[in-house]
Structure 1
Amino acid sequence: MNLSNFGMDTVTLAGTLEAKLDASRVAGFSQLMLWAKDLVNYPGGLDAAVQLVRRSGVRVTGIQVMRDYEGLSGTLHDYKVDVAKSMMEICRAVGSPLLMVCSSTSKHASGEPAKIARDLAKLATLGVPLNVKVGFEALSWGRNISEYQQAWEVVEMADHSNLGIVIDSFHMLANGAELDSLGQIPGSKIAMVQLSDFMWREIRSSEERIETARHLRVFPGEGEHSAELSALVRSIDRAGYRGDYSFEVFNDDFLQMAPELVALRARRSAKWVTDQVLRRSLQIRAPARAVQMSS
């Protein structure tokens, strides 16, 4: 793991698409997670937005976000498949290798794991000719899948090379998830890691969970769960994950700050995260070196 593995999510930054790209690049990031609305709502239109991103030289790590997809039937399922196809075309246009899919909150969605796995496999198959991978994330308020272990269960059941799990630290921390099971997920099946923290130890209601998620996240190293975040990142690193980390920090205060200042906070956070892994690795290896020196 090094600083080149880290990038931001545009939802964290105020301003235009140009301002977000510039702030990210000036802060030293070479990658950025985009939302489809960043592109389709661009004043010059989608094609102009795509050209802007490609000219910037910033690598797009993924496109957010396909909602309420899995577990549906009939015309509702067909409708969501059409939406997914459109989002995958956006991925291809802007050079994104990943479409993010979050677990459904729909009352119309089946909770049958086999059905969910089939739907995810179908989406992954649609992405193959476009070179777009599907990453499935457990929302902490998902109707049928709200824990990362459940998300991994259906991803593993789907058994599709173009499908992986998204690890999101906020939703894990908000649920008080245990981290032991992280080591059972192969690094090759992790499609993306999204990092953020928040300012209090407990979330006491579903309403507070959603409010915190959408308005009050902070960067790793700024919140109340630094120990858990350190353990999470080290566990993923030990599992062999060598992919991208994205700071997905929904924060209303940050949207009232210059994007350049927020991007610098993100850069400090990236250094904090890499220090947690490096420091722990050195501590583990030190006794072995001492033994060699004394022999």
Structure 2
Amino acid sequence: MNLSNFGMDSITLAGPLESKLNASKAAGFSQIMLWAKDLAGHPGGLAEAVRLVRASGVRVTGIQVMRDYEGLSGSLHEYKLDIAKNMLHVCKAVGAPLLMVCSSTSSHASGDLSLISHHLSKLATLAVPLGVKVGFEALSWGRHINQYEQSWEVVDMANHSNLGVVIDSFHMLANQADFDGLEDIPSDKIAMVQLSDFMWRDIRSAEERLETARHLRVFPGEGAHSKELSDLLRRLDKGGYRGDYSFEVFNDDYLQLSPEIVASRAHTAAKWVTDQVLRRSLNIRQPSDGHPMMA
């Protein structure tokens, strides 16, 4: 694990697309997670946004975010499916290998797990010819899927090679999740790991959960859950995950700072993360001959 495994999420940085790309690259990151609105909202249009991204040399790890997709029926399902198809084409245009899908919060969505898995499988199939994979993430306030174990359950049910689960540390910490369930997820079925923390030990209401998630996250190493994050990182590493990590940090304070300053903080966080994983083998004892050996 090194810096090449990490990237920023553009939602963390202030300014236009070009400044986000430049700040991220200047801080030493070779990859970035983009939001579709970064591209669609570019003053020069989508084609110019794509040109900027490709010219930057920064690898796009994925596109955020398809919301409230699964579990719908009738015209609602057809509408969301059409939106998803368009987002898949955005992924292809910018060279993003992953479309992020977060669990539905819609009151119109069914909780039928077989239907949810079917809808995810349908989207994963549509993504195949475009060279894009689909990653499914459990929002901690999702209506029916709000635990990472549940997101894995429906991904496993779908049994589609082009579909994986997204591990998000914020939602796991917010739910006080039991990390033991990570052992059940094959490393090749983890599509992405998103990392962030927050500044208090617990979340006391649904309102505080949303406020924290959307405005008050911090980088790993800056928050109140460093011990839990260290445990999560070591478990993922031990389980064989060698894919990308994205710092998905929604923070209004960071949006008042220059993107260069925030990207520097992200670089510090990347070093903190790698340090936690490297320390996994520090349980060492000294035998009588003075040579260290593993305990």
TM-score strictly above 0.5: yes
Give the superposition deviation at 1:82.
Answer: 0.4
1:130 is aligned to 130
Query: Partner residue of 1:10?
Result: 10
| SS of residue matched to 1:155 | helix
Deviation at 1:2, TM superposition (A): 1.4
CA deviation vs aligned residue, 1:198-231 (integer Å, no higher than 9, x gap): 0000100011000000000000000000000000
Pairwise mapping of residues 280-291 of structure 1 onto structure 2 (< 5 A)? 280-281=280-281, 283-284=282-283, 286=284
Change (3 A) 1:291 1:150: farther
Name the amino acid aligned to 1:42.
H
Whole-angstrom CA distance in 2 between matches of 1:185 and 1:291: 41
Taking the TM superposition and a 5 Å limit, the aligned residue runs for 1:56-205 are 56-205=56-205
CA distance in structure 2 between the partners assigned to 1:42 and 1:137 by the alignment: 27
Q: Distance in 2 between matches of 1:47 and 1:290?
A: 67
Report the Cα offset of residue 184 of structure 1: 1.4
Query: Is the 8 Å Cα contact of residues 286 and 292 (structure 2) preserved in structure 1?
Result: no
Which secondary structure state, in structure 2, belongs to the residue aligned with residue 106 of structure 1? coil
SS in 1 for 2:108: coil
RMSD of equivalent CA atoms: 1.6
Residue deviations 1:40-76, cap 9 Å, x none? Answer: 0000000000000000000000000000000011111
1:245-287 CA distances to partner (integer Å, 9 max, x unpaired)? Answer: 0000000000000100000000000000000000113x15x45
TM-score, scaled to structure 2: 0.97
Structure 2 gap ranges (5+)? none
Deviation at 1:292, TM superposition (A): 11
Number of the residue aligned with 2:233: 233
Give the Cα–Cα distance (whole angstroms) in 1 for the partners of residues 286 and 159 of structure 2: 39
* Matching residue of 1:216: 216
Change in CA separation of 1:129 and 1:280 when aligned onto 2, cut-off 3 Å: same
Aligned 8 A contact 2:165 2:192 in 1: yes
Distance (Å, rounded) in 2 between the aligned partners of 1:75 and 1:240: 41
Change (3 A) 1:155 1:288: farther
Q: Secondary structure at the match of 1:96?
A: coil
Query: CA 1:289–1:88 in structure 2 vs 1: closer, same or farther (change >3 Å)?
Result: farther
1:87-116 deviation digits (Å, cap 9, x = unpaired): 000000000000000000001101011110
Q: For 1:203 and 1:220, how far apart are their aligned partners in 2?
A: 17
Higher helix fraction: Structure 1 or Structure 2?
Answer: 1
Q: Secondary structure at the match of 1:8?
A: strand
Q: Distance in 2 between matches of 1:61 and 1:257?
A: 24
Deviation at 1:290, TM superposition (A): 8.7
CA distance in 2, matches of 1:50, 1:294: 52
Structure 1 segments unaligned to the other structure (5+ residues): none
- Identity rate of aligned residues, in percent? 72
Q: Quick check: 2:199–2:224 contact (8 Å CA) kept in 1?
A: yes
- For 1:291 and 1:150, the matched residues in 2 are separated by 50
Cα displacement (A) at 1:3: 1.4
Separation of aligned partners in 2, 1:263 and 1:161 = 34
User: Once the 2 structures are TM-superposed, how far is the Cα of residue 239 of structure 1 from its aligned partner?
Assistant: 1.1
Q: TM-score, normalised by structure 1?
A: 0.97
Contact 2:136–2:151, Cα closer than 8 Å, also in 1 = yes
Secondary structure of 2:193's aligned partner: strand
Distance 1:176 1:294 in 2: 37
> Does the 8 A contact of 2:285 with 2:292 survive in 1?
no
